[in-house]
A and B are shown apart, each in its own frame.
Chain A
Amino acid sequence: MRNIYFLIIILCFGLFSDIYKTEAQMLTPYTFGTMRARELGPATSSGRITAIEALYINQEAGKKDRRLTIYVGSAAGGVYKSKDNGTTFKALFEKEKNQSIGCMALDPRHQDSVLWVGTGESNVRNSVSIGGGLYKTTDAGETWKLLGLEKVERIAKIALNSKNPDIALVAGMGALWSDSDQRGLYRTTDGGKTFEKVLYVDEKTGCADVVIDPENPSICYAAMWQFRRMAWTFNSGGPGSGLYKSIDGGKTWKKMSKDIPSGDLGRIIIAISPSKPNVIYSMIESKESGLYRSEDRGESWKRMSNAVSVTARPFYFSCLYVDPYNENRVYRPSFQLGISDDGGKTFNGFNYGGGAHADHHALWIDPENPQHLLLGTDGGVYRTFDRGVTWSQFRNLPLAQFYRISHDFEEPYNVFGGLQDNGSWMVPHKITGGWVIQNRNWEPTGWGDGFAVVRDRANPDILYFESQGGSAVRRHISSNEVKPISPFEEKGEKKLRFNWNTPIAQSPTNNKTLYIGSQYLHRSYNHGDTWERISPDLTTNDSAKYNPTESGGVTKDNTSAENHCTIYSIAESTIDEKIIWIGTDDGNIQVSTSGGKSWENITASLASLVPKNTWVSCVEPSHFDKATIYATFDNHTRGDHKTYILKSTNYGRSWKQLTSDSLRGFAHVIREDLVNKDLLFVGTELGLYVSIDGGETWANFRNEIPNVPVRDMVIHPKEHDLIIATHGRGVFIIDDINPLRALKKNVLAEELVFLPTRPTEMSFSSGFQEFSGSDEFNAANPNNSARIAYYLKARHMIGEMKVEILDKKTNQVIATIPAAKRKGVNLLSWDMSTKPPRVAISQNTGGGNWGYTVLSGEYTVRVTKNGKEYSTNLVINEDKKSIHKPQDRIAQFEAMKKMWMMIDDLAFISEQTTSVRDSLRKVLLTAVSGSQARTKGEKIISSLDSLHKTIIAEKSSLFADTEDKLREKLASIYGTVSQFAGKPSEEQMKRIGNLDQELFNTRKRLNDILTKDIKDINILLKAEKMPEISLLTREQFDKQEG
């Protein structure tokens, strides 16, 4: 009984705790409310594709509407789907915890709805991301279910039994950077509810491939691969590798040895001919790497080719395909698309037909037209209809993999960054004169694998970019000349050690200073023409960790990706140029407080918080205190995925861990806000995190940003934008982080609090027409309306809530906008225009039915929530690039205001005219024919009709020019003057004056009728005992809305 009692107490306490947690106002992902990141792309240079599946389906049964549905799996940007032959794509997997896709498989029974997705890419280069299990959708990607295998980290292949797709074999490749007992081949017989590991070698050997005979699903083949990557080396191959066969549907396995190369094998890739399943191909990495062919279901093998295009980089190029109808046609995607038509004896030479990106990882062959291929590359998806002679790119997949990001100070500013295998690029953060940022707005600035790009602040004609391994280049934009500027080793020294992703930094305090890091820190004052070595070797200089030429294992591979014991991050203090911080990939943090004359290794002070030799991914000096430094550490290269974020306030002599349970993924970057020292941003392998309390608590910012690797970030000091580089979904910008700066802990407890936004700058840029179709990715421009922000503690549900804009001088309401009501930060837009005038009723559109733009200045925002009022100031500034003098802006404003009143007045005149006329018509229905009242009344009606015909066009018209009546003439000049924010032309002012006179005359004509004729007829009506005619007053009219 006592136990039950305690159990109940504990249960109650637990429930109350939950309730308490709900009530407490904590920073959560929902706190960010409607603050959203803007995705910029690029899609012109997309990212690495790891899997493609496609099928033809009828959109509607019985109709000949066959469209190709395409699923694209990417290295770190999730799954995209097109339902329209590739014209448009939509991201499907954004809400899932990991975005790295290893493989996909369509259920052959339910191709239109069931797709399996294995996460964790298996092309295991140095920068590869991580997975989080096996997923399945049964509604074509609308929703996903995590089936399991979360700890496998990489799933290389899913093979479904063609006769019973509930039976599947899943190749669990496992961890790249550590031993793991999660590796192996898994089998499910219940559609993924349960799994059994059916093939396991050891903790170093994973399953890299698996296929099931489509004709006889009892026969299966699997490839086991021993592999391991470390920060300084990669090893493919070992005694664990081997080719296996099962004849009982994957329950038991036997290692094949006949005709298989001897010695340690590396990675093995298998492909089975769909048309003749007795024919199997296998690329076997070994001392005799080559393409092997079996014609007897793997019982015997013959080496067909050892062409480089076949054997190249097996760790990276890991797929092989056979034509659906021709068992002798083999496709081997690698550097290029290798094609053999003779059973693998010969392959085409190096031919990048049609300009498709090199480095291929996925292929789909159209079963209805095998000339039609979809190819997944390091730069996106390409399509050919002539089997690779010509290619077109899908320019709608924003999967770019950035390493580093920067900006300049132009207006609008440009964003710069380097991409995995796609060079370096720049893009303006907004476009003037256009609706959206398009692919064409992205400009290439460099080549190779791209990393840091820096635009020189002293000479904006210069920008620095680099390719892998520290190949730094200076580019002169105006002449487009380039000059390699990397420093060299001194005479007698070994080659300098530059990281794959070498840091280059310009001093924040001195525009002339440029830094680059090898194992030394180098400084240049002349744009890289000469370099001064300002440090000793700042790394551990461990020779055991520096031998990249021996990297690769069975197949040697040295591209600088394994360069180690290098400087990885450089940061000069923004407060004191003598303070320089560096972090190395082998775990050192060093600081100089003498501008590089001397250095202090402060690594020992980290010992209790971070494992020794953990990669220092970022050092971020505080902008408020020169002794304060933040650092992130990334230990995933030793299988440790913890988030390490540290802060020191005494030059690194002691550190504090800034962490919380809400953080996921190893950390790449930390940025301290430029205004609020408690506002911190951290990018991890699995997303963006924000802290508003100096790192005590963190919340995942996921408004548009999926759980992708966030590699770098920078805050624009003038625009207050957070610019984010993701390694899988390109660039994101959170426009204007001012609302976040005001989010303090005490604010979270408030019912409603206004938050600051950057002052609105008016823009009068004109748009132009263009009809470019829907087959390219477009990025939105930042919202150029006036922005209003407030925080709500809870969602507004009950009672009225409204938002009004008031003229500060008159305190009159000039506009109302819909209130935003969600929990957290709410952002609203006001288009900076007044409410529209009323327009004369007509059968035609137009009539000037829109407001006019207000002048710059201060306005009041008033939010009323259940009767309680909250007010704040709203500042609207002129466009900094405005070509107009203040008096010209006022002239335009006054002209617009005048016309607004004229249009509104005309609406009243029109309404008064028709109301009197219609009332009179009604009364006269009962008047005696020939009576004085009737005669007089018909005359008045005729006069009013005649007058009304001068006010509005009476013929209904859509496209043809309508009659040019006063309503239409006023609307036309109202629209014309509104197009230019400066002083209206004399011609326009003259036109306004003429129309004002016309309006005056119209009013006078009406008044004459109303004051004399109506008075007269009312006497007659009264005499004939008929109802008198009453006039619509201005007051009554003003009470009418809309």
Chain B
Amino acid sequence: MKGIFLSCILIVCTCISAQSQTLESIIAGYQKAIGGAEKLNSFVSVVIKAKSQGGGGGQKRPMTFTVKLPDKARMDYSFQPGLVYIQAFDGKVGWTVQPWTGSSDAQPLNDDDAKEAQRITKMVHNDLIINGKDGTKLEYKGKDEIEGSEVYKVSATRSDGSVVVYYLDTDSYLIVKTTTKYMNSGVAVESELFPSDYKTVNGFTLAYTFETKSNGEVTSANYVEMYDFTTKVDDSFFTMPAKKQ
């Protein structure tokens, strides 16, 4: 009888514990779920090779995200062979190449767009990995639901004023959705991203699909082919190239 009694207490305690999460326990749960923050933080760069596709189908277009911590990022998006859109931040300056304008010269980004380029640095090493060490304020906002899935809601208020909300699946602690709010040209902008297709490769469990949605339906999807943490990336890769003669 005493055994049953103790078991009951144990079960109750476990259940109550599961119901009363804290910010610390959720972040610990997330870091454990993806394979450990310590090892991830030991890598200073990451190259993500992916393909992007529109919601109704169509061609998958290659794109590459390159990040060198703490503050360098670049995205190359090939919307057609020979025409590559680039958005980059070298730690101080943001720049872009927009070949559809008829020019392949790099142009500087304004401050708001440069911040957007800089946000790429947190694609993998996100606020839940950095865990406030960069001054970002994290808050647990309670449970919520996303498309029928119960989630923990954690908001991250960054020093640039943007606010990212992470929605983590209460079973797996993996991220179901993120929303990012920021100002651009004086207008509040909100973007949503739905990570999925998590796979464990080389000890890390990471999302291999990132979707955007409109009215609940997928409008675009980025399929990750590879997370490369070992390739060394030179700083010059992020520097705005000189104008072509």
Whether A9 and B8, one on each chain, are in contact in the complex, defined by CB atoms closer than 8 angstroms, is yes
Nearest CB of chain B from residue A29's CB, rounded to whole Å: 8
- In angstroms, Cα B188 to Cα A59, docked, is 10
**Residues on the A chain within 8 Å of B55, using CB:** 817-818, 829
B100 at the interface (CB under 8 A from A): yes
B12 at the interface (CB under 8 A from A): yes
**Residues on the B chain within 8 Å of A956, using CB:** 99, 102-104
Whether B145 and A795, one on each chain, are in contact in the complex, defined by CB atoms closer than 8 angstroms, is no
Whether A15 and B12, one on each chain, are in contact in the complex, defined by CB atoms closer than 8 angstroms, is yes
Nearest CB of chain A from residue B182's CB, rounded to whole Å: 14
Whether A836 and B53, one on each chain, are in contact in the complex, defined by CB atoms closer than 8 angstroms, is no
- In angstroms, Cα B101 to Cα A801, docked, is 36
Stretch at the interface among A187-195, A838-846, A1003-1011: A838-846
B51 at the interface (CB under 8 A from A): yes
Stretch at the interface among A99-107, A560-568, A820-828: A820-828
B32 at the interface (CB under 8 A from A): no
Contact residues, A549-567 vs B (CB, 8 A): none
Whether B197 and A801, one on each chain, are in contact in the complex, defined by CB atoms closer than 8 angstroms, is yes
Nearest CB of chain B from residue A1032's CB, rounded to whole Å: 14
Stretch at the interface among A662-670, A847-855, A1016-1024: A847-855
**Residues on the A chain within 8 Å of B51, using CB:** 1041-1042
State which of B82, B148, B196 has its C-beta within 8 Å of the C-beta of A796: B196
Nearest CB of chain A from residue B243's CB, rounded to whole Å: 14
Q: Which residue of B is nearest A795, CB measured?
A: B149
Q: Which residue of B is nearest A831, CB measured?
A: B56
Q: A12-B11, A704-B215, A958-B100 are in contact. Are A1042 and B62 (CB under 8 A)?
A: yes
- In angstroms, Cα B100 to Cα A957, docked, is 8
Q: Which residue of B is nearest A780, CB measured?
A: B215
Contact residues, B59-103 vs A (CB, 8 A): 59-62, 78, 80-83, 99-103
A30 at the interface (CB under 8 A from B): yes
**Residues on the B chain within 8 Å of A817, using CB:** 53, 55-57
Whether A65 and B11, one on each chain, are in contact in the complex, defined by CB atoms closer than 8 angstroms, is no
**Residues on the A chain within 8 Å of B57, using CB:** 805, 815-817, 830-831, 833, 835, 851
State which of B58, B100, B148, B169 has its C-beta within 8 Å of the C-beta of A835: B58
Q: Which residue of B is nearest A796, CB measured?
A: B196
Q: A818-B220, A829-B217 are in contact. Are A795 and B148 (CB under 8 A)?
A: yes
- In angstroms, Cα B220 to Cα A11, docked, is 46
A489 at the interface (CB under 8 A from B): no
Whether B215 and A836, one on each chain, are in contact in the complex, defined by CB atoms closer than 8 angstroms, is no
Nearest CB of chain A from residue B148's CB, rounded to whole Å: 3
B106 at the interface (CB under 8 A from A): no
Whether A795 and B176, one on each chain, are in contact in the complex, defined by CB atoms closer than 8 angstroms, is yes
B15 at the interface (CB under 8 A from A): yes
**Residues on the A chain within 8 Å of B220, using CB:** 818
State which of B60, B148, B186, B211 has its C-beta within 8 Å of the C-beta of A824: B148
**Residues on the A chain within 8 Å of B186, using CB:** 59-60, 63, 65
**Residues on the B chain within 8 Å of A785, using CB:** 56
A703 at the interface (CB under 8 A from B): yes
State which of A815, A818, A823 has its C-beta within 8 Å of the C-beta of B218: A818
- In angstroms, Cα B76 to Cα A544, docked, is 79
**Residues on the A chain within 8 Å of B15, using CB:** 12, 15
B229 at the interface (CB under 8 A from A): no
Q: Interface digits, A333-369 against B, CB 8 Å rule (1 contact, 0 not)?
A: 0000000000000000000000000000000000000
B221 at the interface (CB under 8 A from A): yes
**Residues on the B chain within 8 Å of A703, using CB:** 216
Contact residues, A29-51 vs B (CB, 8 A): 29-31, 33-34, 36
Contact residues, B160-202 vs A (CB, 8 A): 169, 172, 174, 176, 186-187, 194, 196-199
Q: A59-B186, A796-B197 are in contact. Are A822 and B83 (CB under 8 A)?
A: no
Nearest CB of chain B from residue A798's CB, rounded to whole Å: 5
- In angstroms, Cα B145 to Cα A745, docked, is 23
**Residues on the A chain within 8 Å of B101, using CB:** 958
Q: Which residue of B is nearest A58, CB measured?
A: B186
Size band of the interface chain B makes with A: 35 or more
B208 at the interface (CB under 8 A from A): yes
Size band of the interface chain A makes with B: 35 or more
Whether B198 and A845, one on each chain, are in contact in the complex, defined by CB atoms closer than 8 angstroms, is no
Nearest CB of chain A from residue B41's CB, rounded to whole Å: 24
Q: Which residue of B is nearest A1, CB measured?
A: B5
**Residues on the B chain within 8 Å of A849, using CB:** 59, 80
Most chain B Cβ neighbours within 10 Å, of A63, A796, A805, A817: A817
State which of A8, A33, A798, A851 has its C-beta within 8 Å of the C-beta of B147: A33
Whether A841 and B82, one on each chain, are in contact in the complex, defined by CB atoms closer than 8 angstroms, is yes
Nearest CB of chain B from residue A954's CB, rounded to whole Å: 11
Nearest CB of chain B from residue A961's CB, rounded to whole Å: 13
- In angstroms, Cα B83 to Cα A64, docked, is 40
A797 at the interface (CB under 8 A from B): yes
Q: Which residue of A is nearest B59, CB measured?
A: A836
Q: Which residue of A is nearest B148, CB measured?
A: A30
Nearest CB of chain B from residue A777's CB, rounded to whole Å: 16
State which of A801, A819, A841, A957 has its C-beta within 8 Å of the C-beta of B81: A841
**Residues on the B chain within 8 Å of A820, using CB:** 217-218
**Residues on the A chain within 8 Å of B208, using CB:** 800
A768 at the interface (CB under 8 A from B): no
**Residues on the A chain within 8 Å of B59, using CB:** 835-836, 849-851, 1042
**Residues on the A chain within 8 Å of B194, using CB:** 821
**Residues on the B chain within 8 Å of A833, using CB:** 57-58
A978 at the interface (CB under 8 A from B): no
A767 at the interface (CB under 8 A from B): no
- In angstroms, Cα B196 to Cα A805, docked, is 21
Q: Which residue of A is nearest B15, CB measured?
A: A15
Most chain B Cβ neighbours within 10 Å, of A5, A65, A821, A828: A821
Nearest CB of chain A from residue B20's CB, rounded to whole Å: 13
**Residues on the B chain within 8 Å of A836, using CB:** 58-59
**Residues on the B chain within 8 Å of A843, using CB:** 82-83, 99, 104
- In angstroms, Cα B49 to Cα A1042, docked, is 13
Whether B197 and A799, one on each chain, are in contact in the complex, defined by CB atoms closer than 8 angstroms, is yes
Q: A849-B80, A958-B101 are in contact. Are A5 and B53 (CB under 8 A)?
A: no
**Residues on the B chain within 8 Å of A1041, using CB:** 51, 60, 62
**Residues on the A chain within 8 Å of B103, using CB:** 956
B123 at the interface (CB under 8 A from A): no
Whether B218 and A795, one on each chain, are in contact in the complex, defined by CB atoms closer than 8 angstroms, is no
**Residues on the B chain within 8 Å of A819, using CB:** 209, 218
Nearest CB of chain A from residue B240's CB, rounded to whole Å: 20
A856 at the interface (CB under 8 A from B): no
Q: A817-B57, A833-B57, A1041-B60 are in contact. Are A799 and B199 (CB under 8 A)?
A: yes
B130 at the interface (CB under 8 A from A): no
Most chain A Cβ neighbours within 10 Å, of B101, B148, B149: B148
State which of A8, A31, A801, A822 has its C-beta within 8 Å of the C-beta of B9: A8
A28 at the interface (CB under 8 A from B): yes
**Residues on the A chain within 8 Å of B149, using CB:** 794-795, 822-823
- In angstroms, Cα B99 to Cα A815, docked, is 27
Whether B12 and A1042, one on each chain, are in contact in the complex, defined by CB atoms closer than 8 angstroms, is no
Whether B216 and A34, one on each chain, are in contact in the complex, defined by CB atoms closer than 8 angstroms, is yes
Nearest CB of chain A from residue B239's CB, rounded to whole Å: 23
State which of B147, B197, B221 has its C-beta within 8 Å of the C-beta of A823: B147
Most chain B Cβ neighbours within 10 Å, of A844, A850, A959: A844
Whether B198 and A799, one on each chain, are in contact in the complex, defined by CB atoms closer than 8 angstroms, is yes
**Residues on the A chain within 8 Å of B82, using CB:** 841-843
- In angstroms, Cα B7 to Cα A561, docked, is 65
Q: Which residue of A is nearest B175, CB measured?
A: A797
Contact residues, A780-797 vs B (CB, 8 A): 785, 794-797
Task: List 10 A-B pairs, minimum CB-CB distance, nearest first.
Answer: A30-B148, A958-B102, A818-B221, A841-B82, A823-B148, A831-B56, A822-B147, A34-B216, A817-B57, A841-B81
User: 14 more A-B contacts (CB under 8 A) besides A8-B9, A60-B186?
Assistant: A30-B145, A36-B215, A63-B186, A795-B148, A797-B198, A819-B218, A822-B149, A824-B148, A828-B218, A833-B57, A838-B81, A842-B83, A956-B103, A1042-B81
5 contacts between A and B (CB under 8 A): A5-B5, A799-B197, A818-B53, A833-B57, A1041-B60
